[in-house]
Chains A and B, each alone.
Chain A
Amino acid sequence: MWFLRINMKDRTHQLTEVPEKYKKLAGRSLTSNLIADEVPPLAHPLGPNNKLVFSPGFVTGTSAPSSSRISVGGKSPLTGGIKESNAGTPWAWKLGRMRIKALIVEGQPEDKGEFWGLVIGLDKETGQPTLEWFDATEFTGQDAYDVYPMVFKKFEGRRVSVCGIGMASEHAYGNAGVIFEDMSQNPSRFAGRGGLGSVMGSKGLKFILLDDAGAPGVEIADKELFDEGRKKLAAALNEHAITKPKGGLNTYGTAVLVNILNEAGGLPTRNFSRGRFENAAKIAGEAIFDGVKERLGEERYNHACSPGCIIRCSNTWYRKDKSEHVSCVEYESDWAFGANLEIDDLDTISELVKLCNGYGLDTIETGVTLGVAMEAGVLPFGDGEAAIEMVHKMGKGEPIGRILGSGTGTAGKILGVVRTPAVKGQGMPAYEPRAVKGIGITYATSTMGADHTAGYTIAPEILAVMDDLDPLSKEGKIALSRAFQATTAFIDTSGHCLFIAFAILDIASGYQGMIDEVNGVLGTKWTADDILELGTEVLRVERKFNEAAGIGKQADRIPEFMHTEPLPPHNVVFEIDEETLDKVYGEL
């Protein structure tokens, strides 16, 4: 296993064995520990002292189901704190198979206009990673949907996977994702949140290509245990109604959540001013499934974003002429451009998703920032054409576009909007804290800023997965959010997609299967308590970094308007006080 360090100051590199300290870490636990150990907490996120770390999870690159995740870590230009953002992509699978445990990008070129592409391959004789550089300047200033085919063409005949950045990152926005390819070589799988694309851009790095020819695959210490584990997990995923083939996610995609959040009165609408959108059904996962069926004349089930996925939740939207419009219209994107902006047209929403992918913008941050801009009167609510035009302005770096590209928190300040739904500067995802208390606690306290995936209490609060809790009650939610945040930190370390949680929280043998897989790979004897402790320790490390960066408990707060403005239809406020919120990390 390798640590590969790239210094962008002079494009030199250093290849070492994995230091002892980091051998039992991977994915998020590794990116966060490396950032905490090596990046000064007060470093400027876009300066030479920040680092960008890529790490596949423990089982990424193996035959473990739904495990092709890549963690990307750094100090975030959006939140000013530590950031881990992850994506499912063939690129992750390859990095795992090439036995590169961490790819650490350091330094930056003295000339700000330089953009480089890097191809990492393997030496046929020694098996060691090799590096080739190419001048990527010619690929800047263009849509990723135009650029990616050119890059694949340039390396025709080689089995390369592409990670890159778009124009948003070239403009150094707080809203800029790292773009990975999907299974059809589209630039559509994002480590989207927190502006890590701009960290990559600040280093003059436009692409990292992986050529995994001759890759040895992941070393597995105890193959028998690993196989036992992956079979248990696969059985759980194949059995559970949400994750099984032709189940909820495979049929309707993640946007199946639109109707249930709307029914619960927790679907943020019109920039978080209501909990219900009267046209929710028109943009829901069911409408996507039916709309595709109508346009293509046949039912289409969803596909995988990356190799080895059983869940296969990625949908595709088609135009009236049956041509492919975009993949994938996720719940978050669908909501951010739909209910949040009062847009009820799937063609418009799909176009907005595609523009974000092409420019390298995070769809959540973009939609939430547009909601704030609409609140400020920069453009009208419900106006799809104006929204499309505004995203072009963001991508092209026009002055108003640069303001919006700075992210929800900053844009809200510049535009003077009180109703700015952000925590630590990061725009809130698609669940209303006032109507779903547990997720509000996660948004407030997560080391990542407002992030639903950091502790997805929606499972027991809305979906009746694992438990059946009242979303409007704050009872027991502090402990719930804390437990979910710790468990998630481990899942993000294992290399699995977070969606395995739906199956393994309900089916105990699936949960054990995940643990067996990891023990099989590492040769460890970790128990369920041990992995929870590992996850908790990741949170402690992240928290410590944030505090040293000046982001302490005073930043663990829900915006004031949510404490004072009752949210229809339940007419509730977020009533959890500061002292109670502080218990999440105070008692970690």
Chain B
Amino acid sequence: MRVRVKLFATLGMYAPGGESAKPFVMEVDQGTRLNALLDKLDIPEESVRVKFVNGRARKWDYVLEPDDEVGLFPPIGGG
């Protein structure tokens, strides 16, 4: 199945084009958990702080579904 992924801020370096916030599609197996994307993208787990799936913050054990939209953020803040 396919999921759409966006990597933000400093995580952009792990995206296929190296660009932040630019969506790309990944092919994953049914039943894949969110944390499996880390291995596929070679992202150290500790560099990710907030994980969104379809606009909701999720935990690493979230089971992905077809066409899910994933957004991963490093620790960021502002105001």
Closest residue of chain A to B12, judged by CB? A286
B31 within 8 A of A: no
Give the Cβ gap from B1 to chain A, nearest Cβ, in Å: 21
Please, which residues of chain B bring their CB within 8 A of the CB of A452? Answer: 79
Please, which residues of chain A bring their CB within 8 A of the CB of B52? Answer: 263-264
Please, which residues of chain B bring their CB within 8 A of the CB of A458? Answer: 79
A370 within 8 A of B: no
Contact with A along B27-46 (1 / 0, CB 8 A): 00000000000000000000
Asked, given contacts A264-B55, A286-B12, A286-B20, whether A331 binds B78 with beta carbons under 8 Å apart, the answer is: yes
A251, A252, A256, A331 — most chain B CB neighbours (10 Å): A256
Contact of A463 among B6, B55, B56, B76 (CB under 8 A): B76
Please, which residues of chain A bring their CB within 8 A of the CB of B6? Answer: 263
Give the Cβ gap from B72 to chain A, nearest Cβ, in Å: 10
Please, which residues of chain B bring their CB within 8 A of the CB of A470? Answer: 56-57
Asked if B57 contacts A464 (CB within 8 A), the reply is: yes
Please, which residues of chain A bring their CB within 8 A of the CB of B55? Answer: 263-265, 276, 569-570
Compute how far the CA of A281 lies from the CA of B77 in the bound complex, rounded to whole angstroms: 16
Asked if A260 contacts B79 (CB within 8 A), the reply is: no
B3 within 8 A of A: no
Asked if B75 contacts A259 (CB within 8 A), the reply is: no
Asked if A260 contacts B75 (CB within 8 A), the reply is: no
Compute how far the CA of A313 lies from the CA of B79 in the bound complex, rounded to whole angstroms: 11
Please, which residues of chain B bring their CB within 8 A of the CB of A241? Answer: 49, 74-75
Closest residue of chain A to B47, judged by CB? A241
Closest residue of chain B to A275, judged by CB? B55
Please, which residues of chain A bring their CB within 8 A of the CB of B20? Answer: 259, 281, 286, 290
Asked, given contacts A281-B21, A286-B8, A286-B12, whether A331 binds B75 with beta carbons under 8 Å apart, the answer is: no
B9 within 8 A of A: yes
Closest residue of chain B to A505, judged by CB? B77
Contact with B along A459-481 (1 / 0, CB 8 A): 10011110010111000000000
Q: Interface on chain B toward A: helix, strand, loop, or mixed SS?
A: loop
Closest residue of chain B to A313, judged by CB? B78
Asked if A463 contacts B77 (CB within 8 A), the reply is: yes
Closest residue of chain B to A459, judged by CB? B77
Closest residue of chain B to A470, judged by CB? B57
Asked if A264 contacts B57 (CB within 8 A), the reply is: yes
Asked if A468 contacts B76 (CB within 8 A), the reply is: no
Contact of B49 among A331, A456, A464, A570 (CB under 8 A): A464
A254, A264, A459 — most chain B CB neighbours (10 Å): A264
Asked if A463 contacts B49 (CB within 8 A), the reply is: yes
Asked, given contacts A264-B57, A285-B9, A462-B50, whether A242 binds B21 with beta carbons under 8 Å apart, the answer is: no
Asked if B73 contacts A260 (CB within 8 A), the reply is: yes
Asked if B79 contacts A498 (CB within 8 A), the reply is: yes
A249 within 8 A of B: yes
A window 253-300: CB within 8 A of B: 253-257, 259-260, 263-265, 276, 281, 284-286, 290
Compute how far the CA of A264 lies from the CA of B75 in the bound complex, rounded to whole angstroms: 15
Asked, given contacts A286-B8, A464-B50, A569-B55, whether A259 binds B21 with beta carbons under 8 Å apart, the answer is: yes
Please, which residues of chain B bring their CB within 8 A of the CB of A285? Answer: 9, 78
Asked if A242 contacts B57 (CB within 8 A), the reply is: no
A67 within 8 A of B: no
Compute how far the CA of A253 lies from the CA of B78 in the bound complex, rounded to whole angstroms: 7
A60 within 8 A of B: no
Compute how far the CA of A477 lies from the CA of B70 in the bound complex, rounded to whole angstroms: 26
A198 within 8 A of B: no
Give the Cβ gap from A354 to chain B, nearest Cβ, in Å: 20
B-binding residues in A (CB < 8 A): 240-243, 247-249, 251-257, 259-260, 263-265, 276, 281, 284-286, 290, 313, 330-332, 452-453, 456, 458-459, 462-465, 468, 470-472, 498-499, 502, 569-570
13 additional contacts (CB under 8 A) given A249-B76, A464-B50: A241-B49, A242-B77, A251-B9, A252-B9, A259-B8, A260-B8, A263-B6, A263-B55, A264-B57, A463-B77, A464-B75, A470-B56, A498-B79
Pull 18 A–B residue pairs with CB atoms less than 8 Å apart, ordered by A: A242-B75, A242-B76, A248-B77, A252-B9, A256-B78, A259-B8, A259-B20, A259-B21, A259-B73, A260-B8, A263-B8, A263-B55, A263-B73, A264-B52, A281-B21, A285-B78, A456-B79, A464-B57
A-binding residues in B (CB < 8 A): 6, 8-10, 12, 20-22, 49-50, 52, 55-57, 71, 73-79
Enumerate the 9 nearest inter-chain pairs by beta-carbon distance, A residue then B residue, closest first: A254-B78, A241-B75, A242-B77, A281-B21, A248-B76, A257-B78, A502-B77, A263-B71, A286-B20
